[in-house]
Amino acid sequence: MDVVHSSRALATGVALAAVTLTTQGCTASSDTTSSGTSSPVAAETSATAPSGGSPSGDTDHYDEILAGDRKVLIHIAEDDKDWSATYEGPIAIGDGTDDGALFRIVPAAGGRHLLEALRAREEGGRWCVYGDTRTEPVSLGTKACAEDETTLFKVTKADGRDDQGRVTHHLANEKFGAIQVKNDGSALYIQEVGDGGTRGTYSFVDRGPIG
C-alpha cells in the first residue's frame, strides 16, 4: 500500500509541475506585450502609417485672394520676380518691395477677373491692368477700372508650384492671349500661345486684407 500511495503522489507532483510551467510561459508572453515592446505587426504598422497632412504650400487665404479680399504680389515663378505698376501706367517687373507691387484680384463677369493695381495715382480712382494694343506684341498697362475686353483676365491653375510651394497660374485675356514673360525676364507681354508653350506662370503672395 505504501508503494501505491507513493506512486500516486509522484504522478500528481509531475502533473502539477507541468501545469505550473505552462502557466509561467503564458504569463511571460503577456508581460512582454504589456511592457511596451511592440509586436512585429504593430512596429510595421507604425513605420508605414502616414504622418498626417501633406504640405501644400498654398496660402491660408487662397479663396479670399480670388474673391478680391486680399492684397497680393503677382509673382513670376520662372524668374522669382514680381509685377509692379509704374506711375506712368505700364506694368514693369521688380523685386516686390516697391509701392507698385501690390494688386487686388477682383471677380468679374463670366468667371473672369480684373487685376487692380493698388498703387495710388495722382488722378485718384481705381486702376486696372489692361492689354495695351499700341505696342506689338500687346503690352500691359493700367487704366481706370471698368470691365471690357482689354481688362478681363482668366485665372486658371497651372501644373506647377513656385519655389515656395505656392500654386502657379496662367493669366490670359480672351481677345489677345496669355500674359507671358520675355525669355530674358525683362518685360511682360500678351500673345497667343504658340507651339513652344508659354513662358509665364504666376503665384499670388498674400500681403494682408484689403482696407
Q: What is the residue whose three cell numbers read 486680399?
A: 70
CA distances from 13 to 24, 25, 82, 135, 202 (A): 17, 19, 90, 108, 86
Q: Specify the pLDDT at position 60.
A: 80
Q: What is the DSSP letter of 37?
A: P
The Cβ of residue 168 has, within 10 Å, a number of other Cβ atoms equal to 19
Q: Specify the pLDDT at position 152.
A: 98
The Cβ of residue 93 has, within 10 Å, a number of other Cβ atoms equal to 17
Q: Specify the pLDDT at position 195.
A: 74
Q: Specify the pLDDT at position 59.
A: 54
What mean pLDDT value characterizes the chain?
80
Domains of the chain: 2-48 (no CATH), 62-209 (2.80.10.50)
pLDDT in tens, 114-143: 999 999 999 999 999 999 999 999 999 999
Element at 42 (helix H, strand E): helix 40-48
For residue 17, pLDDT over 90 is answered with no
